[in-house]
Amino acid sequence: MLTLETTIRNGDFALRADLSVATGRRVAVIGPSGSGKSTLLAGIAGFLDASGRIAWDGRDLAPLPPAARPVSMIFQDNNLFPHLTAAQNVALGLRPNLRLSRVEETRVDEALAHVGLAGLGARKPGQLSGGQAARVALARVLVRDQPILLLDEPFGALGPALRDEMLDLVAQLARETRATLLMVSHEPDDARRIADEVILVADGTAYPPVVTAEIFANPPEALRDYLGD
Amino acid sequence: MTRTTATGSIALAVVLLFTLGTLAAVFWRAEGLSGFGTADWAALRFSVVQATLSATLSILFAVPLARAIARRRFRGRGLLILLLGAPFILPTIVAVFGLISVFGRSGIVSDLLRLVGLEPISIYGFHGVVLAHVFFNLPLATRLVLQGWLAIPSERFRLAASLGFGPRDIARTLERPMLREVLPGTFLVIFLLCLTSFAVALALGGGPKATTIELAIYQAFNLEFDLGKAALLALVQFALGLAVALVALKVALPSGIGAGLDRSVTRWDAQTQMLRAVDAALISAATVFLVLPMAMIALDGVPRLFSLPASIWWATLRSLGVALASVLVTLALGFPIAALAVKRRGRLVEGIGSITLAASPLVIGTGLFVILFPLTDPFALALPVTALVNAVMSLPFALRALVPALGQIEADYGRLADGLGMTGMARFRHLWLPRLRRPLGFTMGLSAALSMGDLGVIALFAAPDAPTLPLQIYRLMAAYRMPDAAGGALILLASSLALFWLFDRGGRADADA
């Protein structure tokens, strides 16, 4: 279980979060732009200063640097290093110095095959399509095999069909790795498609998760303003 | 990340030791300052006056030239802009040689004057120093002003055209505000470069009427071995440089490494025959002024190329060694300082790194000499010391290229690398190095070319039997062995440009977007 009793600071902005997310849940984080959705994820991942407690299964994550936290994160962009091949980009998830054993190399190949990129490991990001690049980032999530998966509007640049395809792949990977998923999105449809629950972020607060169908059936005022209907 | 702090601090300490430490060493050995005599006042006055005049003239010519280049499209425009960047890596002694071939007593201009029965002109003295400084800095000023012109959005010129603005209206509403922003920084950069000028003054100046403070330090040290005087002059030079640097902090300094100058602006107001003719004349005159001295070196140098004394070839090898060593030291200092500057996000680190812009190589050299003298034979260390000082002097340019690039890399990929645990060598090898290839190639090329052509500290440490190529050329010129000097100048010119080109190309080759 992920427990947040914290205030996350991003420059002058502060986001208050008192909530918990059960293990294995898939949660969409939605709210107006500038409300602090990305701040919430960056705080959990360890990129921003946070007071109070951010704990995973009772263990406080606050003293841990980003790489030591039980977290994989996919950003809005720049998820791949353009000068490294797809396989090397995945391999970084196992060894930051890229010195892989035979066994680890096999794992990288398997992960690429699993996301539908078998045989494309030698390509550089510039030679991949947007969808393929997103799959490489997901293959890295797979080899890292961390219990928390954070996605910060990762597929914003993809077309609607490809985006749905990616969301389904994310949901599938989260199921397979039993990961707890937090995904920032500004599309209510994304949330309906893969999320069990929704965290609403508005007015400097991240509210506790509510079951997806429920929150859209009976939206609180901040969400109503955002949805605009 | 503490490793970043440690290595960065060590590199900064080395820079401070070289700049402030050497200044302190000069004082310590000087045992008190000698009085500031008439000759010293003259040197101070000359330094300031020639720097002011050089900067003013450079800007005066640069503004119409940059305007002409900005608003005209012509064949060879890209080549001309490339040429405007060349003097920066052009060895001073080479340029001086070329200028003597054109403007000297037996140069082209004097020959023409003799043909029509007039007296030949001389290039030595005040006007020669200013001429050389304008030759070096007119191109720099033109590039900086051109950047300003091309930074004005083309929509504004379209708007002006649709409102029926004439050239005067455009100058008032668009151009003068831009110049007010660009010119102060441009003036300061050129003023500073001319203020610390040594090689030009050594070759073309001298005597009581045309001695810069740098040259006076050299003379106090080399001819009179008067450390007290050298120390006093060093202090004056440092204070002067610092004062200008402080003013420069208030004024935004232009970056100089401009990209995207290949664009031109369509100007509906400037299509008259008259303005076209004026622009064409300006561009032609500037091209001749810049190209002729270089062409003369080729003309004078080529015939002697295969019968040069062996000493020139040995000097070339020495200079290449010094240049490559200087590249390594520049990187060893520049990388940690750039990393620390990006981590701290403060301007302090960069400021300290750039303190060498105001520092003088002659002061550093004198300081190193008095430090080394009790320990060992400083003349035996002439080449390593030259490489070190060259590296420190090219550090501001290295930081100007590396810090923004590294900052961008960290902004784009820092979190990704942090999340994956890429620290230390892994981050250096797999993130920084591959993504910094272009600025690194540029930095290495620049520092190699600057070091290859440097005639500063080496003159101070001058071991009689082991000169670098620029020093050897200077000695040949001083001995009036002009054909040999021309051959050496051609070799120096070619190797400086080749070094820059090789490194810069290396950074561009198959770099991933």
Residues 6+ apart with CB under 8 A from A181: A25, A26, A27, A149, A151, A170, A171, A174, A194
The mean per-residue pLDDT over the stretch B27-36 comes to 72
- Chain A CB contacts of B435 under 8 Å are 81, 83
The pLDDT of residue B459 is: 86
- Chain B CB contacts of A67 under 8 Å are 418-423
Read off the pLDDT of residues A165-178 as tens digits, 9 standing for 90 and up: 999 999 999 999 89
Task: Report residue A217: phi and psi, to 5°.
Answer: -70, -35
The pLDDT of residue B257 is: 47
**DSSP line for B344-363:** H--HHHHHHHGGGGTS-HHH
Rounded Cα distance between A40 and A27, Å, is: 13
The distance from CA B59 to its chain's CA centroid, rounded to whole angstroms, is: 17
Read off the pLDDT of residues B308-337 as tens digits, 9 standing for 90 and up: 888 999 999 999 999 999 999 999 999 998
- Compare all CA atoms of chain A with the CA of B420 and give the residue at the minimum distance: A67
* Range 395-434 of B in CB contact (< 8 A) with A: 412-413, 415-416, 418-423, 425-427, 429-431, 434
Task: Inspect the interface and report whether the beta carbons of A72 and B435 lie closer than 8 Å.
Answer: no
- Compare all CA atoms of chain A with the CA of B426 and give the residue at the minimum distance: A97
Neighbouring CB atoms inside 10 A of A142's CB total 22
B192 three-class SS: helix
Residue B450: which H helix or E strand, with range? helix B437-452
- Chain A CB contacts of B416 under 8 Å are 75, 78-79, 81
Task: Inspect the interface and report whether the beta carbons of A68 and B421 lie closer than 8 Å.
Answer: yes
Residues 6+ apart with CB under 8 A from B213: B43, B44, B47, B233, B236, B237, B240, B360
The ipTM, to two decimals, is 0.84
How many CA atoms are closer than 13 Å to the CA of B492, on its beta-carbon side? Answer: 36
Question: Which two three-digit tokens encode residue B201?
Answer: 């003054």
B430 vs chain A: nearest CA distance in angstroms? Answer: 8
User: What is the pairing mode between strands A197-202 and A205-206?
Assistant: antiparallel
- Compare all CA atoms of chain A with the CA of B411 and give the residue at the minimum distance: A78
The distance from CA B229 to its chain's CA centroid, rounded to whole angstroms, is: 27
Share of chain A above pLDDT 70, in %: 100
pLDDT for residue B353 is more than 60? no
Rounded Cα distance between A21 and A2, Å, is: 5
Closest CA to B496 of B338, B322, B377, B238: B322
B1 touches chain A (CB under 8 A): no
* Nearest beta carbon to residue A82 from set B420, B426, B512: B512
On whether the CB atoms of residues A142 and A111 are closer than 8 A, the answer is yes
* Nearest beta carbon to residue A67 from set B419, B425, B512: B419
Task: Inspect the interface and report whether the beta carbons of A67 and B435 lie closer than 8 Å.
Answer: no
| Block residue for tokens 């700049």 | B19
On whether the CB atoms of residues A26 and A194 are closer than 8 A, the answer is yes
* Nearest beta carbon to residue A98 from set B415, B416, B430: B430
Of B165 and B129, which is predicted with more confidence?
Answer: B129
Task: Inspect the interface and report whether the beta carbons of A65 and B418 lie closer than 8 Å.
Answer: yes
Task: Report residue A47: phi and psi, to 5°.
Answer: -90, -15
Beta bridge partners of A54: A4
Residue B236: which H helix or E strand, with range? helix B227-250
Task: Inspect the interface and report whether the beta carbons of A67 and B420 lie closer than 8 Å.
Answer: yes
Lowest mean pLDDT among A150-159, B121-130, B279-288: A150-159
A171 vs chain B: nearest CA distance in angstroms? Answer: 22
The pLDDT of residue B480 is: 87
Lowest mean pLDDT among A8-12, A184-188, B122-126, B346-350: B346-350
Task: Report residue A219: phi and psi, to 5°.
Answer: -70, 140
B408, B427, B430, best to mutate vs chain A, most A CBs in 10 Å: B430
- Compare all CA atoms of chain B with the CA of A143 and give the residue at the minimum distance: B420
* Nearest beta carbon to residue B426 from set A71, A79, A96: A96
On whether the CB atoms of residues B485 and B305 are closer than 8 A, the answer is no
The pLDDT of residue A73 is: 92
A10, A38, A64, A92, best to mutate vs chain B, most B CBs in 10 Å: A92
Closest CA to B68 of B166, B149, B169: B149
B240 vs chain A: nearest CA distance in angstroms? Answer: 40
- Chain A CB contacts of B419 under 8 Å are 45, 47, 66-67, 71-73
Residues of A with CB under 8 A from a CB of B: 42, 45-47, 65-68, 71-73, 75, 78-79, 81-84, 88, 92-93, 96-98, 124, 126
Rounded Cα distance between B398 and B157, Å, is: 36
* Nearest beta carbon to residue A124 from set B421, B423, B512: B512
- Chain B CB contacts of A71 under 8 Å are 419
The pLDDT of residue B263 is: 64
Residue A210: which H helix or E strand, with range? strand A210-211
Question: Helices B227-250 and B361-372, interaxial angle, to 10°?
Answer: 140
Rounded Cα distance between A211 and A228, Å, is: 20
Q: In angstroms, what is the C-alpha Rg of chain B?
A: 24
Average pLDDT, chain B: 86
**Residue type at position B153:** P
Closest CA to A66 of A43, A88, A89: A43
Of B142 and B360, which is predicted with more confidence?
Answer: B142
B513 touches chain A (CB under 8 A): yes
Rounded Cα distance between A225 and B146, Å, is: 50
Is the pTM higher than 0.95? The answer reads no
Rounded Cα distance between B491 and B304, Å, is: 11
Neighbouring CB atoms inside 10 A of A126's CB total 11
pLDDT for residue A229 is more than 70? no
- Chain A CB contacts of B418 under 8 Å are 46-47, 65-67
Domains delineated in chain B:
2-29+44-508 (1.10.3720.10)
Handedness of CA B113, B115, B120, B123 (dihedral sign): positive
- Chain B CB contacts of A84 under 8 Å are 430, 434
Neighbouring CB atoms inside 10 A of B153's CB total 11
A82 three-class SS: coil
Closest CA to B356 of B456, B259, B433: B456
Average pLDDT, chain A: 91
* Nearest beta carbon to residue B419 from set A45, A81, A97: A45
- Compare all CA atoms of chain B with the CA of A150 and give the residue at the minimum distance: B419
Read off the pLDDT of residues B172-205 as tens digits, 9 standing for 90 and up: 888 888 898 889 888 988 998 898 889 999 999 8
* Nearest beta carbon to residue B416 from set A78, A88, A97: A78
The pLDDT of residue B256 is: 47
Read off the pLDDT of residues B226-280 as tens digits, 9 standing for 90 and up: 878 888 888 888 888 888 877 776 665 555 444 456 666 667 777 778 888 889 9
Rounded Cα distance between A142 and B428, Å, is: 25
- Chain B CB contacts of A47 under 8 Å are 415, 418-419
Rounded Cα distance between B40 and B477, Å, is: 27
The distance from CA B134 to its chain's CA centroid, rounded to whole angstroms, is: 13
Beta bridge partners of A14: A9
- Compare all CA atoms of chain B with the CA of A73 and give the residue at the minimum distance: B419
pLDDT for residue B453 is more than 90? yes
* Range 433-452 of B in CB contact (< 8 A) with A: 434-435
On whether the CB atoms of residues A202 and A174 are closer than 8 A, the answer is no
- CATH superfamily for A1-70+148-229 is P-loop containing nucleotide triphosphate hydrolases (3.40.50.300)
- Compare all CA atoms of chain B with the CA of A93 and give the residue at the minimum distance: B420
B408, B410, B418, B420, best to mutate vs chain A, most A CBs in 10 Å: B420
**Residue type at position B321:** G
- Chain B CB contacts of A42 under 8 Å are 415
Read off the pLDDT of residues B99-111 as tens digits, 9 standing for 90 and up: 999 998 888 888 8
Of B473 and B38, which is predicted with more confidence?
Answer: B473
Q: Is A37 exposed, middle or buried (0-12, 13-18, 19+ CB in 10 A)?
A: buried
| Block residue for tokens 């208050």 | A16
The pLDDT of residue A185 is: 87
The pLDDT of residue B352 is: 66
* Nearest beta carbon to residue B431 from set A68, A72, A81: A81
CA distances from B486 to A99, B205, B451, B476, B477 (A): 54, 20, 20, 9, 9
Beta bridge partners of A109: none
B407 vs chain A: nearest CA distance in angstroms? Answer: 15
**DSSP line for B92-158:** HHHHHHHHHHHHSTTSHHHHHHHHTTPPPP---SHHHHHHHHHHHHHHHHHHHHHHHHHHS-HHHHH
Closest CA to B391 of B320, B332, B351: B332
